[in-house]
Structure 1
Amino acid sequence: MQSQSSLFHLPREVRDKIWEFYLSFDHADFGDTLRPQIVYFGDVPYSRQLPPLMLTCKSLYRELSPAVHREAIMRVEIPGWNDRRIGFAVRGNLKFDRLLKLYLLITIEHPNWNSWLSFFEEVIKRAENIETLVIDWGPRPVESVGWAGRANLKKEDEFFDAIRSLKKLQIIRVYGCISPRWASRFDEIATHAHVVCHRFRWWREPGLD
C-alpha cells in the first residue's frame, strides 16, 4: 500500500529535501541543439523521460509533479570552437505555459546576445506564468563606451524589457559577477519582484565539488 511506504512517514519538509536532491539536473540532462526554434517550439512538445520514482504510484506522482512539470533550465554554451548551442533540461514534456520557475544558465565568456536573446524573448512570451526566475550569469561585465559598448547596452535593454514583461514574476535570483550597472537595473525591477544577488555561480561545472 502507498500509505505504508516509509517515505510517507517522513515530515513533508524532509521529503522535499529528498526530492530536491533526486530531481537535480546534470549535464547529460540537457538537449543541446543548434536549431532551438525547431526543437523547442515545434508542434510536438519537446520531451524527456519522467523520473522513474514518479511513476511508481499516484501519491508520488502528485507530490513530484509541481517540481517536475513547472520547472526548466535553459542553457547557452559553446561546447566547441564558435559552436553556440541552446539546450533545455526538463522532465517530461516541456510546456512553457505551465512553467512557474525558469533557470537561465549562460555559461559563455562574452554575452554574445545575438546567439540567444531573441530565443529567450520568445520563451518569455510563451512562459507568461513564471513566478521565479533564476539567472546564472557567466559572461564578463562589458563596458558601456564606444560602438561595442552602445550595442551591448541596447541588448541589455531588450533583456531587461523581457524580464519586466513577466507580470506574475515574484522572485529573481541572480548568480555571478554582474556589473554595478546591472545591479541598478535589478534595483528598478525590485519594485514589483524580490531580487536577490549572489557573487558566486549557481551551476557547478563538471569536476567541481
Structure 2
Amino acid sequence: MAGLSPLFQLPQEVRDKIYEFYLAFNHSDFEDTLRPQIVYFGDVPYSRPLPSLMLTCKSLYQELSPTVHGEAILRVEIPGWNDRRIGFGVRGNLKFDRLSKLYLLIATEHPNWNSWLSTFEAVAEHGKNIETLVIDWGPRPVESVGWSGRANLKKETEFFNAITSLKNLQILRVYGNISPRWMNRFDEIAKRAHVVRYRFRWWREPGLD
C-alpha cells in the first residue's frame, strides 16, 4: 500500500517486539517532583512528548496508541540525601482513566510509605480501567514487631486496599524481595486476578542499561 511504513511489511509479532524495545522507558523519561498532587493531578494534564515514530503516519499512530496512552510508570526514589521524589514515566498526556497498565517502581531502601502511598491511592482511585499492575519493590522487608512494625502493617493494609480497589485488575506481577506475610494478601487478590511473583528486580538501575 502506497505511503505505508515498511514496518507493516513485517509480521505483527515482530512489530510488537520492535515497539516493546522502542517504547521502553529510561531514566531520562522521568521528571521528578516533590509536589505530585499539583503536577500530576492538577487541572492541566501532565504531558511529555509523543514518540517520534508515532507521528510519522496515521497507521503507526493508531498501532502505537494503545501502549503509549495506556501505560505509565509511577517511580519513587531518593536521588539525594533523604530527597524522596515521585516521578511518572509517560508519553503524551497522563490521563489516569485511560490507563490499562501501571508500573509501580519503589526504588528506595525502606518503604517510606508517607512519601508515595497517597499518590498511589489517588492513581488507583482515578485509574479504574487498569487491568495490569506491575510492582517492582526495592525496600527491604520490615519486621512486624514494635511500634514501627505496627505502623508499617497499617500502611501495608492501606496499600493492598488500594490494589483491591482496582475492580478491573486482571494481572498482578510483583518483582523484588517482598515480605513473606504478603503472600496471604496475594492469595486474596489471586481469587479474581492472575498473580505472578518474581524474586529479581524488574527495573535496571543507572549504569546497568
Which category describes the TM-score, using the shorter chain as reference length? over 0.9
Shift in Å, 1:6: 2.2
Choose 47-56 or 177-186, whichever is displaced more: 177-186
> Match for residue 3 of structure 2?
2
Q: What SS does the aligned partner of 1:148 have?
A: helix
Q: What SS does the aligned partner of 2:149 have?
A: helix
Q: Equivalents in 2 of 1:206, 1:183: separation in Å? A: 30
State whether structure 2 residue 180 is matched by structure 1 residue 180.
yes
Shift in Å, 1:116: 0.7
> Match for residue 106 of structure 1?
106
> What are the superposed Cα offsets for residues 72-100 of structure 1, whole Å, 9 maximum, x if unpaired?
00000010011010000000000000000
CA RMSD of aligned residues (A): 0.8
What is the count of residue pairs matched by the alignment? 208
TM-score normalised to structure 1 length: 0.98
TM-score normalised to structure 2 length: 0.98
> Match for residue 142 of structure 1?
142
Q: Is the 8 A contact 1:2 1:59 kept in 2?
A: no
> What are the superposed Cα offsets for residues 164-183 of structure 1, whole Å, 9 maximum, x if unpaired?
01100000000000111012
Q: What SS does the aligned partner of 2:32 have?
A: coil
Q: What SS does the aligned partner of 2:64 have?
A: helix
> Match for residue 202 of structure 1?
202
Q: What SS does the aligned partner of 1:168 have?
A: coil
Matches within 5 A, 1:1-209: 1-3=2-4, 5-209=5-209
Q: What SS does the aligned partner of 2:182 have?
A: helix
Q: Equivalents in 2 of 1:114, 1:55: separation in Å? A: 39
Q: Equivalents in 1 of 2:138, 2:96: separation in Å? A: 24
Q: What SS does the aligned partner of 1:180 have?
A: coil
> What are the superposed Cα offsets for residues 16-72 of structure 1, whole Å, 9 maximum, x if unpaired?
000000000100100100000000011110000000010010000000000000000
> What are the superposed Cα offsets for residues 118-176 of structure 1, whole Å, 9 maximum, x if unpaired?
11101110111100000000000001011110000000000000000110000000000
Q: Equivalents in 2 of 1:70, 1:6: separation in Å? A: 25
Q: Is the 8 A contact 1:124 1:162 kept in 2?
A: yes
Q: What SS does the aligned partner of 2:128 have?
A: coil
Q: Equivalents in 2 of 1:61, 1:52: separation in Å? A: 10
Structure 2 unpaired stretches of 5+: none
Q: Which runs of 4+ in 1 moved over 2 A?
A: none
Q: Equivalents in 2 of 1:177, 1:191: separation in Å? A: 23
Which residue identity lines up with residue 200 of structure 1 in the other structure? F
Q: What SS does the aligned partner of 1:76 have?
A: strand
Which residue identity lines up with residue 146 of structure 1 in the other structure? G
